[in-house]
C-alpha cells in the first residue's frame, strides 16, 4: 500500500477510506484503531449517527480518528466526510435525495477539496437504497451530482447495497473506475466481517485519477483482524489514488 504524499510533478498520492460505521453502535475504540492504522487523508463514512446529537458524535468520531469533519452527517441523511489537516475544503455540497415512502431517506455528502499542489478533487460519500429500482435512480443521480461540481476529478466511497453484477453498480462502473477492479489489493469481500462473502462497498474514481491500490486492508500494519470484526458490520475499503497536479 503506497503512502500518501506529494509527487515531484505536483501530483498527490491520496489515501481514501470508505467505511460503514453502523451508527457507531459497535466497538468505537476498535473502529478508531482501524481508521488510524489506515492513515487516510479522506474518510467516506456511511451510517453516521443521525438522531441523537449527530454533530457531537461526528466530532467525537473525528477526534478519535485524528481527522476533522468536512461535510455531511445529518444534513446528508448519514453519509459523512472526514479529512486530515492537509485537506483544504474549497466548498461543500450536501444533498438529500427524493424519498420513497416507506424507505429510508438517503443523501450525498460532498466536498470539493485541495491537497497540496494537486488539482481540486470532488469527494463524495454515499449509501444507496436497499430497493433495486430506487438504487438505480440514485446511482444515476450520483453521477449527475458529481458531474455538476465543476471539477474534472472526483472520487466516491460508499455502501452501494449491491454487488458488482447489479445494474446500479454497472452504471457507475461504466462511467467511473472501480478501484478494486482496476488495482486490486488486500481483500475483496466487504460484508459481513465475521464471514465476508459479498462485495457491496467500494471506492470509485473518475478517469484521470490513477488508482494505485484498493481493497479491504487485511494485513495492513496496525490493522488487527479482531478490530475489523468488532468495529462495525462492514469491512472498510482503502484506496490510494494519484490526483494530477493542479
Q: What is the pLDDT of residues 89-131, one digit of tens each?
A: 999 999 999 988 999 999 999 999 999 999 999 999 999 999 9
Q: Do the Cβ atoms of 113 and 88 come closer than 8 Å?
A: yes
Q: Does 52 have pLDDT greater than 90?
A: no
Q: Considering the chain, what is the average pLDDT of its residues? A: 97
133 backbone dihedrals φ, ψ, rounded to 5°: -65, -45
Give the confidence band of 58 by pLDDT, cuts at 50, 70, 90.
Answer: very high
| pTM for this entry | 0.97
Strands 12-20 and 237-243: antiparallel
Decide if 132 contacts 31 (C-beta within 8 A). Answer: no
Q: Which residues of 195-223 are buried (b: 16+ CB within 10 A; e: fewer)?
A: ebeebbbbbbbbeebbbbbbbbbeebeeb
CB 156 within 8 A of CB 203: yes
pLDDT at 160: 98
50 pLDDT above the threshold of 90:
no
Amino acid at each position: 500500500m503506497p503512502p500518501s504524499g506529494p509527487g515531484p510533478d505536483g501530483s498527490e498520492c491520496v489515501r481514501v477510506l470508505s467505511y460503514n460505521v453502523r451508527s457507531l453502535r459497535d466497538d468505537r475504540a476498535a473502529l478508531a484503531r482501524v481508521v488510524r492504522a489506515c492513515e487516510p487523508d479522506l474518510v467516506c463514512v456511511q451510517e453516521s449517527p443521525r438522531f441523537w446529537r449527530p454533530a457531537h458524535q461526528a466530532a467525537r468520531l473525528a477526534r478519535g480518528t485524528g481527522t476533522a469533519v468536512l461535510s455531511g452527517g445529518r444534513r446528508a441523511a448519514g453519509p459523512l466526510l472526514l479529512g486530515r489537516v492537509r485537506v483544504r475544503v474549497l466548498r461543500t455540497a450536501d444533498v438529500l435525495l427524493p424519498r420513497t415512502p416507506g424507505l429510508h431517506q438517503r443523501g450525498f455528502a460532498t466536498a470539493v477539496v485541495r491537497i497540496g499542489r494537486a488539482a481540486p478533487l470532488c469527494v463524495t460519500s454515499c449509501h444507496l437504497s436497499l430497493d433495486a429500482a430506487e438504487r438505480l435512480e440514485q446511482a444515476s443521480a450520483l453521477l449527475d451530482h458529481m458531474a455538476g461540481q465543476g471539477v474534472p476529478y472526483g472520487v466516491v466511497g460508499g455502501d452501494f447495497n449491491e454487488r458488482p453484477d447489479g445494474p446500479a453498480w454497472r452504471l457507475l462502473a461504466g462511467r467511473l473506475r472501480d478501484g478494486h477492479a482496476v488495482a486490486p489489493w488486500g481483500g475483496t469481500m466487504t460484508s459481513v466481517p465475521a464471514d465476508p462473502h459479498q462485495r457491496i462497498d467500494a471506492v470509485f474514481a473518475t478517469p484521470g485519477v490513477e488508482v494505485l491500490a484498493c481493497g479491504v486492508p487485511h494485513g495492513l500494519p496496525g490493522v488487527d483482524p479482531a478490530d475489523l470484526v468488532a468495529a462495525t458490520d462492514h469491512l472498510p475499503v482503502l484506496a490510494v489514488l494519484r490526483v494530477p497536479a493542479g
